């Protein structure tokens, strides 16, 4: 059963809803890569990570994300010049989502702690990049084939129904709604310090 799930940043200035949330329309995952962990550290959100440093994410189509309040708080950082666009709420440094640098790829890895309820997503099905996990984390990836297969299927469906390039993070021309800021070398070093 699909449902609509509300979300908000920590201070409540930015709010929104994710439409058509279900285990079939997204991928509930934990990402153990150093980049996701560095983003959490840079945002002061390490306490929200799972044991072993896993970032709790829900991979969804951007067209299903609707910002209802506080869209002016959307900000973007990149850990490196070629890194992912990592979106957050500037009001309180709450992570929002990770995207590639273009609206052409209909993918958003939303920060799971944003959501008022996570039941609609079902259990975590994927553990990714576990070789980079901290002590106490898993040591074997799980569900990556399912994750990539689901991503391909959802992306194709989005292109077929004309919603692939709709996103709260990119405007109609495909430009980011907030200019990405690339971390300075000292900020990057601090973000990756483990």
Annotate 167-194 with b (16+ C-beta within 10 A) or e (fewer): bbbbeeeeebbbebeebeeeebeebeee
Q: ∠ CA(96), CA(74), CA(93), 5° rounding?
A: 60
Span 83-94, mean pLDDT? 97
Structure tokens at 40: 């959490």
Q: Give pLDDT tens digits for 20-61.
A: 999 999 999 999 999 999 999 999 999 999 999 999 999 999
pLDDT band of 129, cuts 50, 70, 90? very high
Q: Are 33 and 129 in contact (CB under 8 A)?
A: yes
59/123 Cα distance (integer angstroms): 13
The sign one gets for the Cα dihedral 61, 102, 129, 133 is: negative
157 in Cβ contact with 167 (< 8 Å): no
Paired tokens of 119: 């039941």
At 1, the pLDDT band (50, 70, 90 cuts) reads low
**Structural domains for the chain:** 3-192 (2.170.150.70)
Instruction: Output 64 or 104, whichever has higher pLDDT.
Output: 64
pLDDT of residue 102: 84
pLDDT over threshold 90, residue 113: yes
pLDDT averaged over the chain? 95
Q: Residue 186 above 70 pLDDT?
A: yes
pLDDT greater than 90 at residue 19:
yes
Q: Nearest 5 degrees, angle CA 110-CA 115-CA 117?
A: 130
* Distance (Å, whole) CA 143 – CA 135: 21
Quick one: pLDDT band at residue 101, thresholds 50, 70, 90? confident
In terms of Cα–Cα distance, which of 60, 83, 87 is closest to 71?
A: 87
Q: How far apart are CA 68 and CA 109, in angstroms?
A: 19
Q: Please enumerate in sequence order all residues whose Cβ is within 8 A of that of 85, keeping only pairs 6 or more positions apart, or say none.
A: 76, 78, 98, 99, 100, 101, 169, 176, 180
């Amino acid at each position: 059963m699909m449902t609509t799930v509300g979300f908000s940043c920590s201070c409540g200035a930015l709010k929104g809803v994710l439409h058509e949330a279900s285990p079939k329309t997204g991928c509930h995952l934990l990402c153990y890569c150093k980049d996701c962990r560095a983003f959490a550290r840079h945002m002061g959100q390490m306490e929200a990570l799972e044991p072993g440093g896993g970032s709790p994410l829900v991979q969804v189509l951007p067209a299903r994300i609707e910002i209802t309040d506080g869209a002016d708080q959307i900000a973007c950082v990149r850990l490196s010049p070629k890194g992912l666009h990592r979106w957050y709420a500037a009001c309180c440094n709450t992570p929002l989502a990770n995207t590639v640098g273009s609206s052409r790829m209909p993918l958003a890895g939303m920060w799971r702690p944003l959501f008022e309820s996570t039941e609609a997503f079902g259990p975590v099905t994927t553990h990714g990049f576990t070789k980079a996990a901290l002590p106490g984390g898993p040591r074997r990836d799980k569900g990556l084939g399912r994750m990539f297969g689901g991503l391909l299927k959802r992306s194709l469906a989005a292109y077929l129904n004309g919603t692939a390039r709709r996103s709260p993070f990119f405007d109609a021309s495909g430009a980011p709604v907030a200019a990405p800021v690339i971390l300075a070398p000292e900020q990057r070093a601090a973000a990756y310090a483990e």
